[in-house]
Structure 1
């Protein structure tokens, strides 16, 4: 390991340079990184990279899921909960089932249990790839919200299917009532563990005399504790991280200081940046090991099987997207749905084409043991499953990843009124915050307002009449008054975000909350 350290260090530098190139040529960086990993793997005397699945499940997966839970909008997640739940659970199960029957029918030596194992591995789309691609094109907010929400939950459902299929292959039997009980515990136990540990961390942040550095370290530790604790109780570590992350994210302003929030954002953005980069370049670098283990079937036949499974995945997802529209149009007659209007045929087609596979699929495939038991026979079709998984990841990333931006640009996406137009929302927020500010100062700090030039200029600023920078030689009393005002502004923004009658995009609310945090940090640094 130590002798290969310069190689891994050069990989990190290569990742940074490749992502710069990807942004420059407007190509999703996962596509470029996988291709680069493939090319590097063919260079003579390059160290063979062997990916330990535990490394991905334990080191990579918890922080990536946790960061996604922190950045997603809970309001959007709840609004589109039905379609997100259907794609994350029902569609994943449907996909795994269809893959199982296709593999059993067309691939020699594949039983239904092995087919379900393969289906559980390749069924979850990778959100990082879709997010990186959608960054370069404009799509309706509802689509990005659905993709983000689906990605938070589909890993859990696919890994549950994978776990049950592994038991069926190893034992040769599948007991339904035990599977139902185990499935229920994985869901309830995973969510419960995440919420409990998240609540304990929240209390710890409040009670302990931590500073910004300590708070940031605690946020880095939290997802690992949630994941490991859930896995130790045989529940879903993925759901534990997601539920705990969502809890802490939605209460971040109640237990984290301004400095902790600002510093944590910078640390987490850098961490997730390098973790995602490493994962995708390692996928490409792992090709030689996967090919070397392929025995009993020609490479060309294995490629054909991989392309067949890829075609099944694409077709099933597109059909599921249109099926969701059909079911919604029926369900609107009986229950309240997020949007009862016909969504048209463009959005489901695009949603169906966003099924790139990635890190979770590869990690699950690699975690298949070499032998069924300690001294037992070899695990059937392990190498072929690995190769098919690699072909699925590579094909979906290259074909769908490269064509999706072109398709979106060619298709005139419909304009929805889910949220106020950004310019109108910005103006409304500014106007309401200005009114709140002037009224708050007048009611609570009238005497100080008459004495303090600083507060007078802040008052004028929010009236749109600021003429010069305020004098920042502030007394503790004046500083406290301004901090109280910023706190009231923050509370108002959070109230507006929780008010479902207001159609503010949560990303816009978070942008204004960030501005308040920055202003508060600036004032706290003034002596």
Structure 2
């Protein structure tokens, strides 16, 4: 690669990153979810005269973007919630994906001239999986039951794998011209199962490295970035599901992370991953908008009007299929199983409606569409490639923008937040802290009785934890919505923040006295940051 080309590419990436950050801040100012705003802004930027056309290498999205984004999603997924809602997650991630792919295949074959059934399944596999980032970013700031977010997050982890497998088999059918159902079903089980096995094996290797080798927080953080790429590449090397490898391995390592990571590693890794994940997601969504004019220019024999009509019809079908699927999937198992009726509360009509409307397409659909090859094995042009690309972009735009902008209003209309039966988050947090303080005090009383009598430092630790337990108990009482207690709690937060501010100012003075090392001052500053972060997550 020429040096000038390399410099140009680096400058382009930096420019996109900077533009993405500015647009995200503007979107926050306008109270628009950043995936929606970035796609629209990217589309608007692409029409600026003189701006070079940006073509995306699909391998970059699959290889650079997909493994870390899936790994981050798996890491942040609650295994308890995932297992608790495994039935609705499975019905959406597998049943709905296959159902959507089939309906789209037959509709597109009957509607679009010279569109074959394998091409229909290829299109269905591309546009069937909703995007997790889009849904969760739209839901931020809107109160919805934990059940809804858990099902959406769990679905998004698995449906990428099932849709990509449909895509892979449909692509093979287009290239070879044949498709045998029982062979495809057998291959699906093999590809999925062995993908999970690869993910679990690789994750065990990294678990042993984290636990038994002399790692540091920096080494551990870098290893967490190597892990998803190792899982994905190894699985794909053997033609297994790289997506399921990353998801299964990420879930296992997340579940065991408390055994291998110390506090410093968790703080550092969480901060790094939050920043990197945000940057990768932002880049992908702005690239979606920037790429659309390139796709329009390659439509060939189809007029723009025809292509738009196909895209709108397919978008409507995809939205309708998901809504129609939700209610039988939610209520038929309850009708057939007494254990489900007694073990789970009814989702009502609000939960299925919100989950059904949250089917916004994004990163995986974009990567799949772009990875359709230009040529068949015999050297002929891949049939209908540009039209498939265009329909995919229309589906992404319609579902992301239209459904994304209307989802908060729909949530408010249903009043679903009022149906939440679980303990409020702030009360859960205070309850957890109180439980931890009490078990610590009990442990100290049982095992360190002599030290408590003789060692002033240990006795001071006990007194501090008793005071913290008392303060947490008072906080729980204040959460009973008694107005006087609420005002006392708010005043407590104000005083505590003011005290932390004074301490931070004193640290600034200490930096100029040349008495303490900078490293120790930074350590104390980080502790103040943690204390302030605790307050910011408390109810005000």
Residues 33, 137 of structure 2: 8 Å contact kept: yes
- How far off its partner does 1:411 sit? 2.1
Q: Paired residue for 1:513?
A: none
Q: Provide the C-alpha distance between the structure 1 equivalents of 2:9 and 2:193, rounded to a whole number of angstroms.
A: 43
Select 1:89's aligned residue among 62, 85, 94. 94
Equivalent position of 2:239 in the other structure = 234
In structure 2, relative to structure 1, the CA distance for the partners of 1:208 and 1:137 (3 Å cut) is: same
Question: What is the correspondence of 1:117-516 to structure 2 with a 5 Å cutoff?
Answer: 117-333=122-338, 335-336=339-340, 339-373=343-377, 375-413=378-416, 415=418, 419-464=422-467
Alpha-carbon displacement from aligned partner over 1:373-403 (angstroms, at most 9, x marks no partner): 1x42111100000000011111111101111
Distance change in 2, residues 1:183/1:34 (3 Å): same
Residue from 37, 43, 59 that aligns with 1:38: 43
Q: What's the C-alpha RMSD, in Å, of the aligned pairs?
A: 2.0
CA–CA distance in structure 2, aligned partners of residues 17 and 331 of structure 1 = 52
CA 1:386–1:256: 2 relative to 1, 3 Å? same
**CA distance in structure 2 between the partners assigned to 1:416 and 1:75 by the alignment:** 21
Shift of 1:329: 2.1
Question: Contact 2:79 / 2:251 at 8 angstroms: preserved in 1?
Answer: yes
Which residue is equivalent to 1:508? none
Segments of 5+ residues of structure 1 without an aligned counterpart are 468-517
Task: List structure 1 segments (4+ residues) > 4 angstroms apart after TM superposition.
Answer: 414-418
Is the helix fraction higher in 1 or 2?
Answer: 2
Once the two structures are TM-superposed, the CA of residue 416 in structure 1 deviates from its matched residue by 5.0
TM-score between the two structures when normalised by the length of structure 2: 0.84
Instruction: Give aligned pairs, total.
Output: 470
In 1: Cα distance, 2:350 partner to 2:374 partner:
44
* Partner Cα separation in structure 2 for residue 387 and residue 69 of structure 1: 30
TM-superposed CA distance for 1:104, in Å, is 0.8
SS at match of 1:286: helix
Per-residue deviation, residues 30-70 of structure 1 (Å, max 9, x unmatched)? 01100111111111111211101100000000000000011
* Cα offset, 1:20, TM superposition: 1.6
What's the offset of the Cα at 1:418?
5.6
Q: Indicate how the Cα distance of structure 1 residues 345 and 441 shifts in structure 2: closer, same or farther if over 3 A, else same.
A: same
Q: Whole-Å Cα distance in 2 between the matches of residues 234 and 409 of structure 1?
A: 45
Q: Name the CA distance, whole Å, in 1 between partners of 2:66 and 2:341.
A: 32
Q: Structure 2 regions of 5+ residues with no counterpart?
A: 471-522, 529-540
Would the aligned equivalents of 1:51 and 1:286 in 2 still touch at CA under 8 Å? yes
Contact 1:117 1:166 in 2 (8 A): yes
Return the alpha-carbon distance in structure 1 between the equivalents of residues 395 and 431 of structure 2. 47
- How far apart are the structure 2 equivalents of 1:465 and 1:356? 44
Residue equivalent to 1:495: none
Give, in whole Å, the separation in 2 of the partners of 1:183 and 1:88: 14
Match of 1:73 in 2: 78
- Choose 170-179 or 316-325, whichever is displaced more: 170-179
Deviation of 1:203 (Å):
0.5
Which whole-Å deviations, capped at 9, do the CAs of 1:225-267 have from their partners, x for residues lacking one?
Answer: 0000001111100000000000000000111222211111011
Residue matched to 1:14: 19
Greater displacement, 248-257 / 93-102? 248-257
